[in-house]
Amino acid sequence: MDVLRQIDDMLPRILDGFTVTVRLAVLSLVLSTIIGTALASMRVSPVAPLRAFGTAYVNVFRNTPLIVLFIFVVEGFPQLGIQPKLAPLGMDVFEMYAVIALSGYTAAFVCEAVRSGINTVAAGQAEAARAIGLTFEQTLREVILPQAFRAVVPPLVSVYIACTKNSAIAAAFGVLEATAQLSSLIEDFPGSVYLAFFLIAAGYMVLVFVLAGVSALVERRFAVSR
């Protein structure tokens, strides 16, 4: 009964923490997918400056620790006078800074996943598209990217799972997501450290299983013919 009562006391705060975690993850995944796809398009572009920019972005962000990027955004942006103007889903300014850092970092990995998918599309399809008069942008949008995304569902989901877990770093910058709630619960329930840890770990496992389940459904729905 004591355990059930402790779970009942902890659960509202745990749910609040995971509500913030899900907000961070969903918005970061959407933005990183958009940015990463644009970067992948740059990396295969015939325009040399675009290729150079895409390559430089990926090399810099993939080789920079995420915590360093968080510090730069959270501490540096206010010094530069950069503040988010839009706060969707009721997010505060620190949550938006966390989204910016997570999105920028994850976009580099999305870019490489999408680029690998682009490379799996037969070169003859792009040549055929150009032969009927499609521009590079039209070929990429109408022919290449739809096939590329079908081919890279598993690696993309791995990137998304990593992004969801990386959102825990936001706890160090005052964002009350799930990991921050764990620290708070340990302080308020010192005799239930393992229970608090188990509940938070179970919550993260649920998020990962949901992403994996969605991945399996999408992969079956849009399976690439062998």
Domain residue limits, the chain = 22-176
The SS3 of residue 220 is: helix
- Confidence band of 226 (pLDDT split at 50, 70, 90): very low
**Upper half-sphere CA count for residue 2 (Cβ side, 13 Å):** 4
CATH of the structural domain 22-176, one choice from 1.25.40.10, 1.10.3720.10, 1.20.58.740, 1.10.150.130? 1.10.3720.10
Q: What is the mean pLDDT of residues 81-98?
A: 74
**pLDDT interval class at 173 (50, 70, 90):** confident
Higher pLDDT, 216 or 86: 216
Q: Give the residue, 132 or 202, on which the prediction is more confident.
A: 202
- Could you say which DSSP state residue 71 is in? H
User: Does pLDDT of 211 surpass 60?
Assistant: yes
User: What pLDDT is attached to residue 187?
Assistant: 84
pLDDT of residue 223: 58
Q: Is 214 left (phi over 0), alpha (psi -120 to 50) or beta?
A: alpha
The pTM score is: 0.86
Dihedral sign computed on CA atoms, order 63, 149, 223, 130 = negative
Q: What confidence tier does 87 reach under pLDDT thresholds 50, 70, 90?
A: low
CA gap 22, 15 in Å, rounded: 10
